Amino acid sequence: MGKKLLKGIEAADSIVLDPHKSLFLPYGSGVILIKNGADMKKTFSDTAAYFQDFETNDMNTSPADLSIELTRPFRGLRMWLPLKIHGLAPFRAALNEKLILSKYFYKQILTCGFQSSGPPELTITTFWYPMDRGENNDFNKELIQNIQQEGKIFLSSTMIENRFVLRLCVLVFRTHKREIDIAIKNIVQHKDELLKTWP
């Protein structure tokens, strides 16, 4: 589903990925793909008297020549091992499910009186409850505060063109349709309660 949105990505000189999000891997997993590896070596390689015992050549590149860290753990194992054991299919299926759930949430939340800046392109949906007399931002700020204080679901927020909007991001591997339905019910419940007491 997200493939169309990434069309042309092959033209980039470098790409940074967060596998802990869309591949559901442990935090701290990060990927940078560089078209020209020599650029990395040119950027990060350094010489010092205490490096004299480490020889590298084109066949033997030191990881210290590829980042600012001279010593680091084997972070690649976090990504390599699950992919090696399970293959790509379950990761594709899980991400595809999250894309479908994002669209499902978007459609359902609109039927509950909320508005959105448009359907999600990936896994984030922005939405707000429309109020009269310029009260949109105040109402939605209080709405998210009430939701966060209860602690049953987690939403984030942002400003888009001076409008305070709520954000739902579906990227936890344990999130399925049941959890989305719980989130919708919770959001609507808090909205209804707030409307009863709103000035």
The proportion of the chain whose per-residue pLDDT surpasses 70, expressed as a percent, equals 94
Which band of pLDDT confidence, cut at 50, 70 and 90, is reported for residue 27? confident
pLDDT of residue 181: 99
Residue 112 has pLDDT above 60, yes or no: yes
Three-class SS of residue 156?
Answer: strand
Q: Which residue has the higher pLDDT, 7 or 193?
A: 193
Residue 120 has pLDDT above 90, yes or no: yes
Residue 134 has pLDDT above 80, yes or no: no
Which band of pLDDT confidence, cut at 50, 70 and 90, is reported for residue 32? confident
Token pair 């499910």 is found at 97
Domain ranges of the chain: 4-87, 90-197
Rounded Cα gap, residues 140 and 125, in angstroms: 15
Q: Does domain 90-197 have CATH number 3.90.1150.10?
A: yes
Measured between its terminal Cα atoms, the distance across the chain in Å is: 43
Rounded Cα gap, residues 70 and 194, in angstroms: 54
The pLDDT mean for the chain works out to 90
**In contact, 31 and 19? CB cutoff 8 Å:** yes
DSSP secondary structure, 17-30, as one string: E-HHHHT-PPTT--
DSSP secondary structure, 94-133, as one string: HHHHHHHHHHHHHHHHHTTT-EESSS-SSSEEEEE---ST
Average pLDDT (175-196) is 98
Residues in the chain: 199
**pLDDT tens-digit map of 89-105:** 999 999 999 999 999 99
pLDDT of residue 39: 84
**In contact, 77 and 25? CB cutoff 8 Å:** no
Residue 1 has pLDDT above 60, yes or no: no
Rounded Cα gap, residues 49 and 53, in angstroms: 9
Residue 58 has pLDDT above 70, yes or no: no
DSSP structural state of residue 25: P
